[in-house]
Every structure is written in structure tokens, then in C-alpha cells.
Structure 1
Amino acid sequence: MRHTRSRRHRILLASGAMLAVAGLLTACTPGETDPAAGGSGGASSDAGTPASPEAAKPGEKVTIGFSGPAADHGWMGAINSAALKSAKGFSDVELVVAEGTNDASLQISQIETFINNKVDAIVMLPTDGAALTDVAIKAMQAGIPVVNVDREFSSNFAARTTVLGDNYGMGVSAGTYICNELGGKKDAVVAEIAGIDSLPLTQDRSRGFKEALGDCGLTVSNRVAADFTVQGGEAATSQLLASAPKLDAVWNHDDDQGIGVLAAITAANRNEFFMVGGAGSKNAMESIKAGDSVLRATVIYPSTQAADGIAMARLIALGLPATDFVTQGVPNRVVLDAPVVTKENVDTYIGAAFDS
């Protein structure tokens, strides 16, 4: 019973977070976010259409500076494009976009330019949260609200609002799905193909996965780490398959590296197990829908975090509330949901998926 209660507790926590955020997103995100209506728990194929009458009311023109990542990864490219589409949905927003970069020094100079130009708000996905903390604090001290996306700063004083995907929740969702699919098979061999092990997000995903599996009496029998690239996914998976002659289930943290993961599985002619992906790419969902590989499900990590950040930055700059909340203002921290996409519900989510 202890395991059952613990597992139910985590699922309820995740569901509660999803419900809390859903009210906010209805009020201040462009586009419909209800999965039943075609969204994806934070991802929306209609990004760019304001949803709330009050949030949609044009106000005084505001200038928002956006600094995002280099689009060297399908998910990263989707972050940038969704942010631009979000801004276009508001007639009172002028978006100033810095060149996408993975260079912390360049990004610091971009934010300093935004500060010097006295923009009304800044939305930033930092290439390194700790490295960008000081310049974000500088912006806040200059009276410019900062919306922090995906990778957290190392100080609470660096951002007015933080928008995050749920990395721990991804692991919980993947582990819970695998537990349910294996139906109490206590001797099941479960493997994990992680991303970059030094990143806190990878550590959080692995921790959630381990704990969810533990609640049904399973452990991670084999684990390798890749680097979020196709090549890294293929190499790590080849290593995994060589050391594990039999598997029952595999969780791969990232659908972009999953292209290489599936290539290695095909090359090894292995199909005795099923796999769960991560992030929610379009090609992964198409494979799930077609049933043409071992990939049976994927866990969404929303690529619309910056789009939500633009919408919230607008509300903050204009002094508008998140209207579906009783409290005034915009919450200072939003964690988006990590739903599992399967063949049964893939049509609900695929319209908002990103291309790997």
C-alpha cells in the first residue's frame, strides 16, 4: 500500500499543477490549450490567437525583447518559432528578437542591449541559467521585468516570472506508463537512454523515472547517456543493446536523439521490447500512430514555453491580470504538464508537435 499511495500522491501533484496552470494559460496564452480541444498541455497549434477577452484587449504598445537558443535541435527551433507566432497575435506587442545563440557571453551582451534600449519586458531562455543570472538581475533592477524560460536562473531576484517544463514529471509519466504496460511483471528488464547527464534537467528526469518505477517494484536495469543528438542517440543505444541481450521496456529522454535510437534498434534487429520517447516530436507521434516501430508512446515537454512567456510578459508590462485567477497579477512560477501521448490520444496532440 505504501507504494500505491506514493505513486498516487505524485500523480495527484502532477494533475494539480496541470490544473493550476490551465487556468493561467486560458487567460494569458495565445491559443487554445485544453488537450480535449486540440492543444497539448501547454503546446498549441493555434499559438498567436489571444484567448481571454481582457488579456486580448489592446493596450499601450509594449516592446518585448526575446533572446532564445540557437535552433540546432528540433525542440529549440520550435521554441523560437512559437515565441514569434505568439507575439504576432497581439496588436500591442512589438517583439525585438536577438539572434539565437548557445554562447553565454553573446547572450549577456544581447540582454545588456535590451536594457540600454529600455524595452518594457524581456523573455529569455538562457543558454546557461547561472551565467545569465547577473545580467537578468541588472534588467530587473532597471525596472524591466524578466520572464525566465526553461533553464532557471540561480537567484529568485533575476526574474519576475519563470515558465518551466516538468522534467521530474516527465520521468514520473514515463515510469508510470511503463509500470502500467508491464502489468506487475516484477522481473522486467527496463532500460533508460538519458540525455546529457551533467544537466539538472536530465538528473530530474532520471530521478522521476526511478521513483515511479520503484512504486511498482521495478528498477532501471540498464542505463546509458547520450547528448540530445541523433548521432549520440545511435551510439549510446548501440552500446546499450550490446550489453543487454533482452529488454522489456526502454525510456529515451528525447525524441530528437530518438531518431538515432530507433536507427540503432533497427540495425540490431531488436523488437522484443517497447519504447517510450520524450519531448513530443511530430515524427515520433507519426511513428506511434502508424505502429511501425517499437516506439509506443512519448512524454511531452512543451515547446511553447517561450510563447507562454511572451504572453505573460505582455500582461506584466501592461499591468493586466491573469483573468481566470481570483488573485491579481501573473503567477511568479508556472510549471507545465508532461502528458503521455499514445496511439489512443495522438490525434489530440500531433497538431502542436514540433519537427525533429
Structure 2
Amino acid sequence: MSARSARFLKTATLAGLTSLALIACTSNTPEAKKTDGNATQAAAGSGSNDAPGQKVKIGFSAPAADHGWMGAITKATQAEAKKYSDIELIVAEGTNDVNLQISQVETFINQKVDAIVLLPFDGAALTPVAIKAMEAGITVVNVDREFDSTFAARTTILGDNKGMGISAGTYVCQEMKGKKDAVIAEIAGIDSLPLTQARSQGFKEALADCGLKVNNRVAAEFTVESGEKAAANLLQAAPKIDAIWNHDDDQGVGVMAAIKNSGRKEFFVVGGAGSANVMRDIKAGNTLLKATVIYPSTQGADGVRLARLLVQKKALGDLVEVEVPRLVQLYAPVVTKDNVDQYLPTAFES
């Protein structure tokens, strides 16, 4: 293992611990007690953060569910809220209309909700109204697409786009086992998006660490149709391929259709985002899919849990810090046949 890979794995471990902190929570109710030095320290109470507490009214708004991952965000958020008797979740209809989403947030403000969990269609455009909510005393939790100002949210929950590329590239390097002439292909998402650029940059850096590079690259548009067209073009342009990383499992449905039509089998495929159908194929082992890299669709659900803790003035029990962190970045693990059962329960359907 190279020095860079070792550093990456160390960072991944720390990120994983942050994600686990979202799951294993204990109470943050302080109890003052004297130490031998007559200093006062806070000790966590014996209760659980999951025990019913102060009622919390949460507004949730996200873009339209025109993509499997986005649909899973809203579904997981609603399912998580139902687990808590002290949460009232108000879900706005998903929309890609920025002005309508701004109006939804203003409605939440007028309803005097305690918190808003917001996945903005456009982070910059939703920043002013998010600041307005914060100034009204409403706790805002920003999900996935960042606002332009730190004053717009108390806490932000992000996936790790560059980390996805690093994870995918590291896995490909491991599978190549030192094969320096390996031909690596990449099917990206929409090239103009920063998230696509970050994924590609991470992939490039990880491959460089083991002496490889992206030999053939095409871009799609996160749709089945665009994935099939891009993959067909790639296969026509590259007579030999050893591995393909496809950024998105939804467009991957089209990618795999194009591969099947080509009849080619000399390479393996790594997916992206972590859909259930890809995981089932990985588990079955009867396709060229050997792995996928997770971009968590639990971010909205995590946002609801953190909003609840923030309003109830609790913290993450696995941290010494007595406040919920300002930024939580979720890990981008590689799912293979060896660990697929661990990730299937939270996977989204393409």
C-alpha cells in the first residue's frame, strides 16, 4: 500500500466514526459534579437520546424525485421521522422550481416550525431565505448542496464526492495488482457540475498513486438514456478496457444495457451512489459489476435526527464535544460481494 493510500484509509476511518456518531447517540443532559480539584465537569445523563423528549416540528423540502437517489432521500427522511413520537414532520412537495422552494421555506417560517431540513435545488438561490429562517430562531440543517453562507444553517450534512472518486480509484488500483498498462475508462455525470468534477479529480488522484490514469472518458447526464449512449460511444472508441468507473448507478442502468449489447466481457465495472439493483447484481456475481461506491441517500434522514437533537439541546453521544458538529461529511465506502449485505438495507432503487 502506498503512503497516499494509507493516508486515505486513515481519513476514511475517521469519517466513518463521524457517521457512526449519528447512529449511536446517548443523552447530553449534563449533571454537574465536583472533581478532586474542586472543578466542575459535565457528565452525560443515563438516558438515551432516542427516548421521547420535547416535541419538535420539522419542515422538510427537497428537489423533485426525478432520480432514484433523490426519491430515496425523501423516503428515508419520512421513515426516520416516523420512528420518533416527538417529531412532527411537515414535508413540502418536491420541486425543481427555485422560487417555489423559497416559498416553501417561507411557509415553514410562518408556521413557526422548530427546524427546517433543507436540500436546496440551488444552494446559492436558497441561501437568503435560509438566513431568514435562522434569524427567525429556526434551526436550519442544510443537506447535500451547500448554501453560500455559514449563517444560513446551523449544521450541514454532505456526501463526499471527491471521496467517491478516491474510493473508486483505490479499488481499481487494488484490483489491477500492479498492472501498469491497464486501460481505465470513466463514465462521468454532467461535466459542468462541481460534484462531477470533484468525483473525477478524486479518481484521477487515486489512480495516479498506483501509476495508472484514465485512458478513455465520456460524460453522461445521470439518466438511463444518457448512460446507454455514453457507454456505447466509449465502447466503440476503446477496443480494449480493463476497468470502468461509472459515476452514477441510475445512469448505470443504461451503461450496463450498452455493455450487454456489445457482448464485451474483458473488463469489470465499478458503480457509483449505491443503488439496490447494483448491489443485488454484485451479490449475485453474474454481471461485470464488481463494486459500487456509496453516496449516502440517508442525508435527509440524518438531517432529521440532527435537527431533533439540536432543538432538544442534545449532542452526539459518541463525541466528547457537547454540541452537534457544524459540518458532518459522510463516508464513501466501496461495496463489494464481501460486505454488500451491510449496505443493502439503506440502498435506493434505481
TM-score (norm 1): 0.90
AA matched with 1:24: L
AA matched with 1:156: T
1:285 aligns with 2:279: yes
Distance 2:205 2:223 in 1: 26
1:210 deviates by 0.5
Distance 2:151 2:48 in 1: 28
Aligned mate of 2:53, from 43, 59, 62: 59
1:10 aligns with 2:8: yes
1:114 deviates by 0.7
1:308 aligns with 2:293: no
Q: Residue by residue, what CA displacement relative to the aligned partner does 1:279-323 show, whole Å, maximum 9, x if unpaired? A: 111110111111222111101111110000000001111112222
Q: How does 1:247-266 map to 2 (within 5 A)?
A: 247-266=241-260
Q: Residue by residue, what CA displacement relative to the aligned partner does 1:153-193 show, whole Å, maximum 9, x if unpaired? A: 11111110011111111111100000000001111110100
1:60 deviates by 2.2
| Backbone CA RMSD of aligned residues | 1.4
AA matched with 2:252: G
Aligned twin of 1:145? 139
Distance 2:232 2:327 in 1: 39
Distance 1:183 1:213 in 2: 12
Q: Residue by residue, what CA displacement relative to the aligned partner does 1:178-216 show, whole Å, maximum 9, x if unpaired? A: 000000111111010011111111111111100000000
Aligned twin of 2:157? 163
Which segments of 5 or more consecutive residues in structure 1 lack a partner in the other structure?
29-51
Runs of at least 4 residues of structure 1 off by over 2 A? none
Identity %: 65
Distance 2:122 2:297 in 1: 18
CA contact (8 A) 1:24 1:325 kept: no
Aligned twin of 1:323? 317
Aligned residue for 2:2, secondary structure, equals: helix
Q: How does 1:81-160 map to 2 (within 5 A)?
A: 81-160=75-154
Aligned twin of 2:73? 79
Aligned twin of 1:295? 289
Distance 1:349 1:313 in 2: 24
1:195 aligns with 2:193: no
1:53 deviates by 4.5
Q: What number of residue pairs does the alignment pair up?
A: 331
1:218 deviates by 0.4
1:237 deviates by 0.6
Stretch of structure 1 that moved more, 257-266 or 335-344 = 335-344
Aligned residue for 1:89, secondary structure, equals: coil
CA contact (8 A) 2:298 2:346 kept: no
Q: How does 1:214-233 map to 2 (within 5 A)?
A: 214-233=208-227
Aligned twin of 1:41? none
Aligned twin of 1:22? 20
Aligned twin of 2:267? 273
Aligned twin of 1:349? 343
Distance 1:53 1:77 in 2: 34
Distance 1:21 1:343 in 2: 22
Distance 1:344 1:325 in 2: 30
Aligned residue for 1:27, secondary structure, equals: coil
CA contact (8 A) 1:321 1:329 kept: yes
Distance 2:70 2:25 in 1: 25
| Greater RCO, 1 or 2 (C-alpha within 8 Å, sep 6+) | 1
AA matched with 1:251: W
Distance 2:245 2:142 in 1: 28
Aligned residue for 1:63, secondary structure, equals: strand
TM-score (norm 2): 0.92
1:57 deviates by 2.3
AA matched with 2:20: A
CA contact (8 A) 2:18 2:330 kept: no
Distance 1:53 1:106 in 2: 41
Distance 1:208 1:129 in 2: 23
Distance 2:123 2:74 in 1: 18
